[in-house]
Structure 1
């Protein structure tokens, strides 16, 4: 839920994802603390008749950052302009976006930690003074032309808050960190999604899907749609416990939510590297993925599930990882008490 559906997705997938997004804070499931803080921030700004402070959402992919940005715009009654950090390569790109905003609009920048440095510096003055300086010409004859920007609210989203520069972070008046969802919270979300999509699902079927969704709403909604497809084809259209289990087996999602890539990473770590330690880049090459994908998509859940640990020497498989793959862990392998000190030097 935290980012837009892939442009390569089928139109019905994009429509389904958009249709289940909550439109208001009252409809947003879980994240109670962030939701309450955001409600106070937005409604006090509405009462004053001025834009709220700029907002930063951080957290793993799929937890609702993009959805909350849309909700912010809806609650404020302003327009929403959406872009991403990698798409803003030059300061002129950002200047064109900023000068096109109307008063009260919300500008959402996904993956804001990846914005180009010149554009980031231009953003500072826009955030603080609602003004940008556009440089015309080159060399000694270059001239900076100040342009006013209508008062707006910037909503940034990041999966890597540690990569934000200090000056950028300091300019956000509110920072909300989104946590993984509990199974019961995902069950509430899935019941809502099932009603919207017209899926006939039993309580047990919903609970089975929510328990395998890795605490992530986007994954939960996607799995529900895939189980629905299976049910319509092979189970008379009803998502029951047995149907959910059979469907998730077809889609290679195991009983704790690991998918093909998760299991490939664990298998490489355990079998190819004898449990580690191994550097991130080496592990990524072994499974044919980019290091960012392994670090941002796979590792957070494996660490949270107690299957992988980051140590000063590299990534290490825990005893639980060996057992999950049906293997006996070697003597002396890390168990529950593994040192999970963040590794600053294991990227090679």
Structure 2
């Protein structure tokens, strides 16, 4: 069989290898989140000195900030094996029992989107995290019996984008909760510089800054945009200078604030169809043809964070900055004819 690196299979394998290589292998390599890194370093070092498993860790924050990477680093720096799962995959207590009972001593169990676990599994996890044992029910009705099963000591690393959905008894059993913050442009430039080196991409410093400024404070988005710039340079210019970066991002509908097609559709709807708002969530979702959950969890947080819309008791309202960014003039200082409408579905 040919080992030609130009074959599609070889290229796909190279892309997967690149994705894995992008992830830092230690806290020292990890860019950004300096406070969280310091806290984790202390926690892991103390556990190593005492020769015990580290406390359970909850990583909370928006998608793309490095929660999975940090979980891998916890396992690496603890010199422990890592088991990975996700909340949606654990829909019964039996699913969780099968995972917990197969853990080896000291193993790190990572559960992504832990807030989406089934309630029965969450309740089983309470006892497992605290006493390293679970109770398995055998039989039904009056003849049902509970069989205790001891577990090997383990460290649970949970990741969530919606920490408010975690029940208090589960949240309180984590020994340390890390709240990940969005990255600054300078931090994103460091992330991009490292990735560009791994891609062997010739890119200007101002071009890196341009990508960082459009990456919404999120390393995952920054790396994705860098790869699209790499593709554009490969096809058109041969080098990723500033003009090439701007042309590539314009082609992929990413503007200077980092707004994409859906972001702009939402803003244009609020500004033009509803005259700046207020407008309720479900009405807005129907107007742009998207699910309300997508608008609320994916689009709206960024628009609120950069000050293009605000949430009021009456609905979503465009700010003065939004009118300026889209080059429009408000017909009135606040919501108009629709102000009394569309406010019952916030």
TM-score by length of 2: 0.91
* 1:8-67 C-alpha deviation (Å, 9 max, x unpaired): xx7655443222011110011011101100100011101111111110111111111111
1:258–1:153: structure 2 CA closer, same or farther, 3 Å change rule?
same
Query: Greater CA deviation, 214-223 or 269-278?
Result: 269-278
Q: Greater CA deviation, 271-280 or 111-120?
A: 271-280
d(CA) in 2 for partners of 1:179 and 1:290?
26
Distance in 2 of aligned mates of 1:346 and 1:205: 45
What is the root-mean-square deviation of aligned Cα atoms in Å? 1.6
How many equivalent pairs are there?
328
| Structure 1 stretch displaced more, 241-250 or 194-203 | 194-203
- The Cα shift of 1:288 comes to 2.4
Alignment deviations for residues 271-307 of structure 1 (CA, whole Å, 9 cap, x no partner): 2222222222222222222222222221121111110
Are 1:149 and 2:133 counterparts?
no
Q: What is the aligned partner in structure 2 of residue 78 from structure 1?
A: 80
8 Å CA contact 1:319–1:333 kept in 2: the answer is no
Determine the structure 2 residue equivalent to 1:128.
130
TM-score when normalising by structure 1: 0.91
Of 219-228 and 102-111, deviating more is 102-111
1:35 lines up with 2:37 in the alignment:
yes
Asked if structure 2 preserves the Cα contact closer than 8 Å seen for 1:60 and 1:296, the reply is no
User: Is 1:172 aligned to residue 192 of structure 2?
Assistant: no
Write the mapping of 1:287-298 to structure 2, written as runs, cut at 5 A. Answer: 287-298=288-299
CA distance in 2, matches of 1:86, 1:269: 33
Alignment correspondent of 1:241: 242
Q: Which residue of 1 aligns with 2:340?
A: none
CA distance in 1, matches of 2:331, 2:46: 58
Corresponding position of 2:163:
161
1:117 is matched with which residue? 119
- Which 10-residue stretch deviates more, 171-180 or 133-142? 133-142
After TM superposition, the runs of 4+ consecutive aligned structure 1 residues lying more than 6 A away are none
The structure-2 alpha-carbon separation of the partners of 1:33 and 1:121, relative to structure 1 and needing over 3 Å to count, comes to same
Radius of gyration: which is bigger? 2
Confirm or deny: 8 A CA contact 1:73 1:106 kept in the other structure.
Answer: yes
